[in-house]
Structure 1
Amino acid sequence: MQTTALRYFLAVARDGSIAAASGRLNVAPSAISRQVANLEAELACPLFERRPRGMVLSQAGELLARHAHQVLSSAEQVVTEIRELEGLWRGLVRVACTDAFAVDLVPSLVAEFHGRHPGIRFELSVLPPAQVTHRVIQGDADLGITFSLEPSADVAVAYRTSLAMVALCAPDHPLAGRRLIGLTDVAAHPVALLPRDTTLRTILDAACAAEGIAIEPVLTANALSALLPFVRRTRGLTLVSSIALQGEVERDAFRALPIQSRRSLARGIEVQTMRDRRLPRAVQAFLTALVAALPRVEG
């Protein structure tokens, strides 16, 4: 089996259609269809179930997908090891992370790393937490940085800790001088929040319910970057992980206010890699820099 055919096959499996895979790979649909048909002919069985809403892997397709990931990962590893003979002059680091880490933390670390190793390239994907983990498991990301409510046995965890939730406000906000606030203080001001299907809202809503407090956001958006202008230009607040905009807080663009509540507002975060994979040298070097920038794990 050719690696090109396996790569096209996995793209169709991931995207659910030949047309979607074509758009992602920038390859003609006919070429992808031909490679998939050749694989099915070679194996003498269908690899997909053709359904009205897209293509779903058959039982044989599931088996081939697992094999294909191993083959392509091994091929990539060989290429990487050859390139690494040049040290950290060249390389690619693929990072998947949630929105909270993409606004400030990861871009700042990439900029610092680029200053030391300008030949290393980066690809950053911003995704919901579960999709970050899925990208790592599938080998589509070298590193995943995500909030985790439940541990996954399918990834290796390079770093794990819990981070408190803080209220973010403008430097001239009435609460800006407070060292500690409560959920009642949050509820008394305009609030901009992420949607209810996020880990932040799950934990926040449970804490509010425990205290009988209702927080109705003025603005709801699925990207933290869309909430920040509201916070800057109003007497509003948003809630974020304590590390999410640490650089912005240090530059005095915002104030971060610790929140006291009856129920913990902490969320677990993980830096994930593919289980049993030896990381390329550039990825390992960036992972070391990333973990060094995160809060120190005690114990």
Structure 2
Amino acid sequence: MQTTGLRYFLAVARTGSIAAASAQLNVAASAISRQIGNLEAELDCVLFERRPRGMVPSPAGELLAQHAHQMLIRSEQIVTEIRELEGLARGLIRVASSEGFSLDIVPSTVASFHAAHPGLRFEVTVLPPAQVTQIVAAGEADLGITFALAPSTQVEVLYDEQVDMLVLAAPDHPLARAKVVQLSELPNYPIALPTRDTTLRQVFDAACLQEGIVIEPVLTANNLATQLPFVRRSRGLALMSALSMRTPLDLNALVSLPIRARASLSRNIQIQAMRDRRLPRAVRGFLRQLLDALPPPAGSA
């Protein structure tokens, strides 16, 4: 079976229609239909059933889908290993990232690694933390970097380190010169918070609940890019990891302050990979550079 046909088959299985798969892959619908027809002829079976909700894999299609991901991953590994033997500095590194790391750490690592290996290409997908884990587990990303609240059995965790939540403020904010901010002080100032489906908001809300503190955010936003201008241009505050905001902090555009609370305001940074997968050499090199950008794990010398 050709890998092109398998990719097109999986796209239709995932999206539920040839038209949607065509838009996702930027490939003509007729080409996708032809490849699926070739697969059905080769396997002598029907791979999809047409239902009101779209094209649904038949029992044979479901069986093929279970194995197609692994077949494609193995095919990519073989191509990568052959290129490495030939000394070709080419290839694609796919990274899934939660938003906090997409602002600085991931693009900075991509830039520096690409400078040393200009033949490589990179694909960065920014997703909520749970979805990062899901696509890494499915083999749709080589590495995932995300915040996590609990261990995951879906993936292999290559790095796991706790990091504290901080308050971000403009340099002229009344709290900017404080050494530490009490959680109980935060209701006195306008604050921007992420949406409730984020790990940061879940940890923060739990800490507030434990101390009986009620905070009504002036701004609730599902991305950091919306929160940061609010902090810079008002006497407002925001919450995030210092790792997410390293460049603005280094440039003194913002200041960060530790928060004192009864409950933990920490989350874990994880770098994740698909279980039982041998990472290509280029991905292993990128991983080493990514690890260099993160705090060393506790207890490491």
TM-score, normalised relative to structure 1: 0.93
User: Identity of counterpart residues, as a percentage?
Assistant: 63
Range moving further from structure 2, 71-80 or 60-69: 60-69
Write out aligned runs for 1:8-19 (5 A). Answer: 8-19=8-19
* Alignment length (residue pairs): 299
Measured after TM superposition, the shift of residue 31 of structure 1 is 2.2
In 2, the alpha carbon distance for the partners of 1:88 and 1:258 equals 47
In 1, the alpha carbon distance for the partners of 2:230 and 2:45 equals 55
Write out aligned runs for 1:108-123 (5 A). Answer: 108-123=108-123
Q: Which runs of 5+ in 2 are unaligned?
A: none
In structure 2, what is the equivalent of residue 89 of structure 1? 89
Range moving further from structure 2, 94-103 or 249-258: 249-258
Structure 1 26/60 Cα, relative in aligned 2: closer, same or farther at 3 Å?
same
Q: Which amino acid in structure 2 is aligned with residue 181 of structure 1?
A: V
Do the aligned residues in 2 keep the contact of 1:88 with 1:281 (CA within 8 Å)?
A: no
Q: For residue 290 of structure 1, give the secondary structure of its aligned residue in structure 2.
A: helix
In 1, the alpha carbon distance for the partners of 2:52 and 2:272 equals 35
Asked if 1:158 corresponds to 2:158, the answer is: yes
Asked if 1:277 corresponds to 2:258, the answer is: no
In 1, the alpha carbon distance for the partners of 2:230 and 2:99 equals 17
In structure 2, what is the equivalent of residue 261 of structure 1? 261
In 2, the alpha carbon distance for the partners of 1:54 and 1:182 equals 54
In 2, the alpha carbon distance for the partners of 1:130 and 1:59 equals 29
Q: For residue 204 of structure 1, give the secondary structure of its aligned residue in structure 2.
A: helix
Measured after TM superposition, the shift of residue 150 of structure 1 is 3.1
Asked if 1:247 corresponds to 2:247, the answer is: yes
Range moving further from structure 2, 138-147 or 51-60: 51-60
Measured after TM superposition, the shift of residue 58 of structure 1 is 4.5
In structure 1, what is the equivalent of residue 202 of structure 2? 202
In structure 2, what is the equivalent of residue 235 of structure 1? 235
In 1, the alpha carbon distance for the partners of 2:209 and 2:88 equals 51
Measured after TM superposition, the shift of residue 119 of structure 1 is 2.4
In 2, the alpha carbon distance for the partners of 1:189 and 1:55 equals 52
Do the aligned residues in 2 keep the contact of 1:147 with 1:267 (CA within 8 Å)?
A: yes
Measured after TM superposition, the shift of residue 231 of structure 1 is 0.9
Do the aligned residues in 2 keep the contact of 1:92 with 1:121 (CA within 8 Å)?
A: yes
Asked if 1:36 corresponds to 2:56, the answer is: no
In 2, the alpha carbon distance for the partners of 1:175 and 1:92 equals 45
Range moving further from structure 2, 49-58 or 66-75: 49-58
Q: For residue 144 of structure 2, give the secondary structure of its aligned residue in structure 1.
A: strand
Do the aligned residues in 2 keep the contact of 1:105 with 1:247 (CA within 8 Å)?
A: no
Q: For residue 8 of structure 1, give the secondary structure of its aligned residue in structure 2.
A: helix
Write out aligned runs for 1:281-296 (5 A). Answer: 281-296=281-296
In 2, the alpha carbon distance for the partners of 1:58 and 1:100 equals 40
Q: Which amino acid in structure 2 is aligned with residue 99 of structure 1?
A: E
Measured after TM superposition, the shift of residue 144 of structure 1 is 0.4
Measured after TM superposition, the shift of residue 222 of structure 1 is 1.2
RMSD: 1.9
Measured after TM superposition, the shift of residue 83 of structure 1 is 1.9
